[in-house]
Amino acid sequence: MKAKKENKVYEVDKITKDRYVKLGYDIYDDKGELIENAKNKTIAYEEYEKLQKELEDAKKVPNNAKALKEKCEELEAEKINLQEQLDLANGKIAELEAENKKPKEE
């Protein structure tokens, strides 16, 4: 295993691994895959603010999706209602056209 921090890399074993983690080193296996993150890492405040904003934006998405789904269902119900009204109007038009074709009695 290897302990890495900035430009420092040390070979470590299972016994010394925890000590290096507490000192701020990340632990990687022999294949180079991260095993454990350092416990006391810090990031720049600008990076924190950026990530916080991204998180807030991400939290808004499900609410928007829910609102869009509700609006879609509302529009679907309105579409069905309008289709029924159109069918009634077409039926009435057909009745009037049939009535209009009949010879008029004078």
Pair 26, 60 in one domain: no
Pair 17, 60 in one domain: no
* Beta pairing, strands 2-5 & 26-28: antiparallel
Look at residue 92 and tell me if it is in a domain: yes
Pair 69, 22 in one domain: no
Q: 71 exposed, middle or buried (CB, 10 Å; 0-12, 13-18, 19+)?
A: exposed
Q: How many domains does the structure of the chain reveal? A: 2
Pair 16, 65 in one domain: no
- 7-29, pLDDT tens digit by residue? 999 999 999 999 999 898 999 99
- Three-state secondary-structure class, residue 5: strand
Domain extent for 52: 42-101
Cα–Cα distance measured from residue 56 to residue 5, given in angstroms and rounded to the nearest whole number: 30
The pTM for the full model equals 0.44
Q: Which two tokens stand for residue 104?
A: 């008029």
- 75-87, pLDDT tens digit by residue? 999 999 999 999 9
Look at residue 90 and tell me if it is in a domain: yes
